[in-house]
Every structure is written in C-alpha cells, then in structure tokens.
A and B are shown apart, each in its own frame.
Chain A
Amino acid sequence: MVEHVAIKGARGGLRVVVNDICSWDDAFAAIQHQLAQGANLFQGMSVSFDMGARVIDSKEMQSLYTVLQTYQLTTADIQADSNTVRQFAREIGLVAKPRSTTQALRIESATPAPILIKNLRSGQVHKHLHGDLTLLGDVNAGAELIVSGSLVVFGRVRGLVHAGALGDRSAIICAIELAATQIRIADVRARAPEQDGNRHPEIACIEDDQIIVHSWEEYRR
C-alpha cells in the first residue's frame, strides 16, 4: 500500500509530505487522520507541507487550512511544484515556496542521536522529533520524554516515555531502570506492572502489536 501522507520531524517542527499520485480525497483523509492521532503531540508546532506535483483548488486549500487551525498548528509554509497551488496558499495568507528537494534530502539523511544530560522532572516535557536520543539522567514521575526514533536512558524512568512518536514501530526504549508509569512505542501503549522488584536494565520493543519488555541479559541472547 502506498502511504498517502508521511509526517516527519523537521527542524523546529513537522514536515508533512503529501503523496502526489493518489486522489486528493484519500490524501486529505490521511492528513486528517494522522493529525488527529498525534493531536496532543503536535499541538502548537509549526508544519511545513510538501505537496509535490499535486494540484489542488482554492477550496481544497481552504479546507486544509481549516484542519490545521482545528489542531492549533501554525503553518510554516506550503511547498509545491505548481504555481497555482502556491498562489492559492498565498491568497489565504500562507507562505508558499517552490519545492526544495535538497531540504527534504537533508532531513532524511541527517538523524544525529544527541546526548541530553538532564533530570526530567515532574511537569517537564521534552520532545525530540529528529530521530534517536540518549538521555543521561532520570525521567521522574510526571515528566514526559517523546522521541521519533529510539530512546536510550542512562538513568531511571518513572514517568512517561514515548519512542517512535511519528509512527516508527521498530523503535526501542532502553533504560537502566525502566519503571515507567506508561511506555509508548508508535501507536502502542503499555502500563508498567504494579510491582516493585529489584530493577535491572531493560529493553522495550513491539512484538506482535504489543509492547514487550525484556531484561537486557535476555535481549542480548
């Protein structure tokens, strides 16, 4: 199946690449669906649209704009090959640019995995939508750590961790102590079992549509 729309983390926000071969109805439905799924995650972020070679009319542009407003997203720009599409975008006050293929390439190839040294405390939310992240510190109860790739925590996790936040089900979460209140990978959620044993390093991943937590020793074999 061809993806109708792909959402990616980009510098300072999201980049939505719209398939330019399928029907607009399908693409538009996919955009609505994806934004609804990530509504909490995306709220307040800026979005850059890549329309490819697709041509849409001013009414369709207007309905796209309405959806963005519904989810409280700011529109950074609309990139399109078609001059008419760019014209429609400008008419409703959006920034429109010709498509920059170089930028698209750079985002996809550059996925550095930075190291963040910090204790995330109750009420603090850290989002990293550029791929993998290593945290040197704890994620305390009431804190949230959200990454688009995989997550390695060299510390204790007691709060909420979400890996593969843009839909990557192959993402994993490793921690020295994985006592998270909730673990999320892509669209799958799991609650930690309510037992307090001796904690050891663990790795969480998706197996058969479920989040499975392995001890590190087990996982190596």
Chain B
Amino acid sequence: MAKVITITSGKGGVGKTTSTANLGTALAGLGNKVVVVDADIGLRNLDVVLGLENRIVYDLVDVIEGNCRLRQALIKDKHEAELYLLPAAQTRDKDAVTQEEMIDLVNQLREEFDFVLIDSPAGIESGFKNAIVGADEIIIVTTPEVSAVRDADRIIGLCEAYEKPQPRLILNRLRPKMVRNGDMMSVEDVLQILAIELIGIIPEDEDVITATNKGEVLVLDKKSRTGKCYIDVARRINGEAVPIEPIEDNASLIERLSNMFRGGR
C-alpha cells in the first residue's frame, strides 16, 4: 500500500524542495517506486532541483483538467530508474486546483507507487491545504531559527485541525559550532518547543547550493555527509531503525582540546 507523505514548513526557504528531491531520490535508491509531486503551483522549483526542467511537457494542472493522461505528465528521473516527477504548472496559480481534485490525483498515484512525496508551497493558504489534504504522513522541515520554528509550530497546530497524524520533524541547516557557542538554537531547544518526533538532522552545507544550481542531488554523491544524512532519513521513513547521531563538525584542534579540558566531548 502506497504511503503519501507531504513535506511542508510554513516558512519559505528552509529546504522543503531540497528535502523532497533528496528523500525521493534516496527512497528510490532503497528500491521503492517513488513519485515526487510539486504542489507549488505557479512557483515550481522541484523540476529545477532535480535537473528535469527541460523535459516538462504536461503538468499537474493538465492532469487535473484532463488535457493529458497522468502517465503522460510523469517525468522519469535521469538517475534513478524508479523515480518520477509530477511537475507543477508555472503559468497558473493555487486556485487552479481544488482539495477534492488533489485527493483524486493522490489516489490515482497511490495505485502505481510505493511512496508519493508532495512538496508543499510555503504559507498556510489554499496551496498548503491542497498539499496536505491527501497525505497519510506529514514531515515538517525547519531551521534552528525562532521565526522558522514559530511557523513550524503553527503548521503542527493546523495539521491537528485537519485531523492529520502528528507530523515528524527534519531539522535543517544546523551549524554545530554556532550551537556550541550558544549562538544558535540546539536540537534540544527546537524539540522542547515543538514536542514532536525528530526524523533527521541535516547540517548546513554549501554543497547544497552548488548541487541545486547544477540540478543534482547530494544523496547521489557518495562523499557527501549531507547526502548520507538524507539517506538515513529515507531509511527511517522506510521503516528501518536508524539511530539519529548528533552532527559533529570539523572543530579545530584548539577547540577540541579546550573542550576536553572543560570536561566536554
């Protein structure tokens, strides 16, 4: 039975699309048949991040309006044989789709795939509602910033109101050094506020920007630590018990020594 998972955040720019692309690729790499759906109608990005922009012929709105069959709109990934993209329409807006139409579409996808990952738009308006209405599970992406955490909290409240199961959390763009210096919220600080299950921690990584610009995903880069973190999240989604390890950075020798003397790690 397919599992429909929506990736959302409230705040924009925290890494929803990057997470969707990486998790989709990783889940396909684990042997699942996966479709990633871009629900950000009018501001599509997922195709760019996956490097599939130039292959788009039909989109999600075309499927809903009956201009093409579902299969015609699905784009096969360049790397993973079992990964498909259903792109958003760029020339329309959120009102082009209703909640009922989204549920219908998701139910069609359920029959063909093991995982349906939906990339939600930012915000709490109709686009967000369309993105979560058909979901079995919700993953919230946040960064360790007060504004992002506040929005994540709002989203958790809304998921309750829509009677969805309690979301799980990806904490993105963590900088261990800043946390150590007390300049950034720690994993514990964020969990204390949100009080939901953590499904992964992703470190801040400049390589994400390079990869995104090239239309590549980091999970395919065997050397990437960030890619490894996403693969671990995918394995957890897949039902494996993979422990969440704290993110260590390449602390300088002096820092490590001073930590030792202070009795820390």
Contacts and interface: CB of A to CB of B under 8 A. Distances in A.
Contacts of A122: 150-151, 153-154, 157
Given A140-B153, A141-B150, A142-B153, A119 B195 contact: yes
B244 interface: no
Contact of A123 (B158, B192, B195): B158
A120 B160 CA distance: 11
Interface string A33-68: 000000000000000000000000000000000000
B96 interface: no
A143 B158 CA distance: 12
B156 interface: yes
A22 to B, nearest CB: 44
A120 B158 CA distance: 11
A122 B158 CA distance: 9
Nearest to B159: A121
Contacts of A156: 192
B178 interface: no
B7 to A, nearest CB: 19
A142 B150 contact: yes
B158 A140 contact: no
A156 B195 CA distance: 12
Interface string B153-187: 11011101000000000000000000000000000
A163 B62 CA distance: 53
Interface size range of chain B in the complex = 10 to 19
A72 interface: no
Chain B binding surface SS class: helix
A84 B20 CA distance: 68
Nearest to A141: B150
Contacts of B156: 121
Nearest to B152: A122
A117 to B, nearest CB: 13
Interface in A112-167: 119-124, 138, 140-143, 156, 158
Nearest to A138: B195
Contacts of B242: none
B209 interface: no
Interface string B187-199: 0000011010000
Interface of A: 119-124, 138, 140-143, 156, 158
Given A142-B154, A143-B157, 15 more contacts: A121-B153, A121-B154, A122-B151, A122-B153, A122-B154, A123-B154, A123-B157, A123-B158, A124-B157, A140-B193, A141-B150, A141-B153, A142-B153, A156-B192, A158-B193
18 contacts: A120-B157, A121-B153, A121-B156, A121-B160, A122-B150, A122-B151, A122-B153, A122-B157, A123-B157, A123-B158, A140-B153, A140-B193, A141-B150, A141-B153, A141-B193, A142-B154, A156-B192, A158-B193
